[in-house]
Amino acid sequence: MKRALNFNAGPAALPQAVLEKAQKEWLNYLDSGMAVMELSHRSAEYEQIHDSADRLLRRLMQIPDDYEVLFLQGGASLQFTMVPMNLLRNDETAYYIMTGSWSEKALSEARKIGSAASLASGKEGMYKNIPSIEASAPDDASYVHLTSNNTIFGTQWQTFPDLFNAPLVADMSSDILSKPINVNQFGLIYAGAQKNLGPSGVTVVIIKKDLLARSDERLPTMLSYQTHAKNRSLYNTPPTLSIYLLSLVLEWVESIGGLPAIEKINSEKAEILYDIIDESNGFYRGHADQGSRSLMNVTFKLETEAATGAFLEQAKEAGFIGLNGHRSIGGCRASLYNAVTIEQVNELAKFMKTFRKNY
């Protein structure tokens, strides 16, 4: 069976091995006579899936024991609200480092909850680069928030600041699990699953346990991290099917060598496309500054809008999916999440070369 050349920005390609395993077990999970989504979330079979997702994520990301792993719903967008609801204390301010549209949304939601401000912003430079920040947050900082990878502008933090006086909170929706990181640098990490983790519909939150004390007991039960931490994400019915698929993706990541191996492949994939851009004498123009380039989303345009349009049209005809840039900035974008293969990236590279020669 021919797999699509899927460069979607998310929901995105998933590993074929994962899809095949899920299909095989679909009607009769572990000989139970039931599909995974027909299992009670209190059954031993489901508990095992749930625990396996937790254990695998901890092992792959080397999450220390003083962190909780939560499986929630609502996407990163709901975390934009839950983070300040739970972490932002009176008389303190939440500081946001602005690297694109998602940071803007996160800050705007935080302002609905309490005092929140921009600490640094790349907006004037059209979000082409990641601003550098001081190692020390302002004295009244409740936390400092960043977006680790910016799908729309194609930028990515290369190293994270080592804050010593406020917890660092990161929206890692679009690059979690794409490379090893040091979880100890963060107070809280959150990520919608639909890029590197699995299907949309489950959100991973990794939170340092000492931060759970900040959740006020007057918070709505479902919006308190404490609720979910106390109940191992089983306070109410979790999205069982999505968590099952997440667990299969995690198994797959482990099977191919874990995050060091994934990082190597991801670097190789991105390099193939950035090389084409850099060697094209301005035919392809990358959006992000070189030092801020994302390994996950390669954003570029051609010299004229007409050329960009022709490129996207012919790419579509050639079977490439999802190469249109986000509607807010236009241009082109190739998303290279974990499940996109080197072979697929090579096909795109070949297409880009041929298009340039013929245009």
Beta bridge partners of 207: 68, 188
Neighbours of 131 (CB within 10 A): 17
Question: String of b and e for 34-45 (b: at least 16 CB within 10 Å)?
Answer: eebeebebeeee
Specify whether 230 is catalytic: no
Contact call for residue 348 and a copy of itself (CB under 8 A): no
Question: Closest separation between CB of residue 282 and a copy of itself, Å?
Answer: 30
- CA–CA distance, 83 with 89 (Å, rounded to integer): 11
- Burial classification of residue 356, based on how many CB atoms lie within 10 Å of its CB (0-12 exposed, 13-18 middle, 19 or more buried): middle
Does the annotation flag 171 for ligand binding?
Answer: yes
Q: Write the binding mask 156 to 195 for a copy of itself: x where contact by CB under 8 A, - elsewhere.
A: ------------------------------------x-x-
Contacts with a copy of itself, 83-112, as mask; x by CB under 8 A: --x-------------------x---x--x
Report yes or no: 332 and 300 within 8 Å, Cβ to Cβ. yes
Residue placing its CB nearer to a copy of itself in the complex, 55 or 112: 112
Listed residue (175, 200, 185) closest to 78, CA to CA = 200
Catalytic residue, from 128, 157, 195, 269: name it: 195
Q: Compose the 289-328 pattern: x for residues touching a copy of itself by CB under 8 A, - for all others.
A: --------------------------------xx------
- Shortest approach of a copy of itself to residue 114 CB, angstroms? 12
Contacting residues for 84 by C-beta, under 8 A, at least 6 apart = 94, 109, 110, 113, 114, 116
Active site residue 208: no
Question: Catalytic one among 54, 128, 157, 171?
Answer: 171
**Is 242 annotated as ligand-binding?**
no
**Cβ atoms of residues 26 and 225 within 8 Å:** no
Q: How far is CA 85 from CA 22, 116, 129, 229, in A?
A: 36, 12, 29, 16
Binding residue for a copy of itself (CB under 8 A) from 49, 76, 137, 249? Answer: 76
In the DSSP assignment, the letter for residue 130 is P
Q: Is 102 a catalytic residue?
A: yes
Helix (H) or strand (E) holding 17: helix 16-25
Residue 42 annotated as lining a ligand binding site: yes
Name the residues that contact a copy of itself, by CB under 8 A.
Answer: 1-4, 6, 8-14, 16, 19-20, 22-23, 26-28, 32-35, 37-41, 73-78, 80-81, 85, 105, 109, 112-113, 192, 194, 198-202, 218-223, 235-242, 245, 321-322
Annotated binding site for pyridoxal 5'-phosphate: 76-77, 102, 151, 171, 194, 236-237
Annotated binding site: 42, 76-77, 102, 151, 171, 194, 236-237
